[in-house]
Amino acid sequence: MVQELTHPAIAPEMRPELEAFWMPFTANRQFKAHPRIFVSAKDMHYTTEDGRQVLDATAGLWCVNAGHCRAKIAEAVARQVNTLDFGPTFQMGHDVVFELADRLVKIAPAGQFDHVFFGNSGSEAVESALKIAIAYHRVRGEGTRTRLIGRERGYHGVNFGGISVGGISTVRKFFGSLLPGVDHLPHTFNLQHQAFSKGQPDWGAHLADELERIVALHDASNIAAVIVEPVAGSTGVLIPPKGYLQRLRQICDKYGILLIFDEVITGFGRLGAPFAADYFGVVPDMITVAKGITNGTVPMGAVFVRQGIYDAFMNAPNNAIEFFHGYTYSGHPVACAAAIATLDIYNEEGLFDRANSLADYWQEAVHSLKGLPYVIDIRNLGLVAGIELEAIPGKPTARAFDAFLRAYQKGLLIRTTGDIIALSPPLIIEKQQIDQIVEMLGEILHDLP
Q: Which of 121, 197, 294, 417 binds ligand PLP (CB under 6 A)?
A: 121
CB nearer to ligand PLP: pick between 66 and 375? 66
CB nearer to ligand PLP: pick between 186 and 411? 186
Q: Name residues contacting ligand PLP, limited to 243-272 (CB under 6 A).
A: 262, 264-265
Does position 127 interact with ligand PLP (CB under 6 A)? The reply is no
Of the ranges 228-236, 279-287, 381-389, 405-413, which one interacts with ligand PLP (CB under 6 A)?
228-236
What secondary structure letter does DSSP report for 32?
H
Between CA 195 and CA 199 the distance in angstroms is: 11
* Least distance to ligand PLP, CB of residue 126, Å: 5
- What is the Cα Rg of the chain in Å? 22
CB nearer to ligand PLP: pick between 150 and 233? 233
CB nearer to ligand PLP: pick between 205 and 265? 265
CB nearer to ligand PLP: pick between 56 and 229? 229
Q: 147 φ, ψ to 5°?
A: -70, 145
Between CA 329 and CA 346 the distance in angstroms is: 24
Between CA 22 and CA 80 the distance in angstroms is: 31
Residues in a beta bridge with 41: 46
CB nearer to ligand PLP: pick between 161 and 204? 161
CB nearer to ligand PLP: pick between 238 and 358? 238
Q: Which residue is nearest to ligand PLP (CB)?
A: 122
Does position 234 interact with ligand PLP (CB under 6 A)? The reply is yes
Does position 229 interact with ligand PLP (CB under 6 A)? The reply is yes
Q: 132 φ, ψ to 5°?
A: -60, -40
Question: What's the full length of the chain, in residues?
Answer: 449
CB nearer to ligand PLP: pick between 155 and 362? 155
The residue type of 138 is: R
Q: Which of 46, 117, 136, 155 binds ligand PLP (CB under 6 A)?
A: 155
Residues in a beta bridge with 47: 40, 53
CB nearer to ligand PLP: pick between 265 and 383? 265
Instruction: Report which secondary-structure segment, H or E, holds 101.
Output: helix 95-107
Number of residues forming the site for ligand PLP (CB under 6 A): 14
* Least distance to ligand PLP, CB of residue 231, Å: 9
Q: What is the largest CA-CA distance in the chain?
A: 68
Between CA 20 and CA 377 the distance in angstroms is: 39
158 Cβ contact list (under 8 Å, min separation 6): 123, 171
Does position 235 interact with ligand PLP (CB under 6 A)? The reply is no
Q: Name residues contacting ligand PLP, limited to 408-447 (CB under 6 A).
A: none
403 in Cβ contact with 445 (< 8 Å): yes
* Least distance to ligand PLP, CB of residue 291, Å: 6
Cα→Cα distances 147→55, 165, 195, Å: 43, 10, 34
Does position 123 interact with ligand PLP (CB under 6 A)? The reply is yes
Between CA 109 and CA 265 the distance in angstroms is: 16
Of the ranges 229-237, 238-246, 401-409, 422-430, which one interacts with ligand PLP (CB under 6 A)?
229-237
Q: Which of 77, 96, 101, 126 binds ligand PLP (CB under 6 A)?
A: 126
Instruction: Report which secondary-structure segment, H or E, holds 80.
Output: helix 71-83
140 in Cβ contact with 312 (< 8 Å): yes
Does position 165 interact with ligand PLP (CB under 6 A)? The reply is no
Q: Is 54 exposed, middle or buried (0-12, 13-18, 19+ CB in 10 A)?
A: buried
Of the ranges 154-162, 320-328, 339-347, 415-423, which one interacts with ligand PLP (CB under 6 A)?
154-162
CB nearer to ligand PLP: pick between 165 and 429? 165
User: Rule CB under 6 A: which residues touch ligand PLP?
Assistant: 121-123, 126, 155-157, 229, 233-234, 262, 264-265, 290
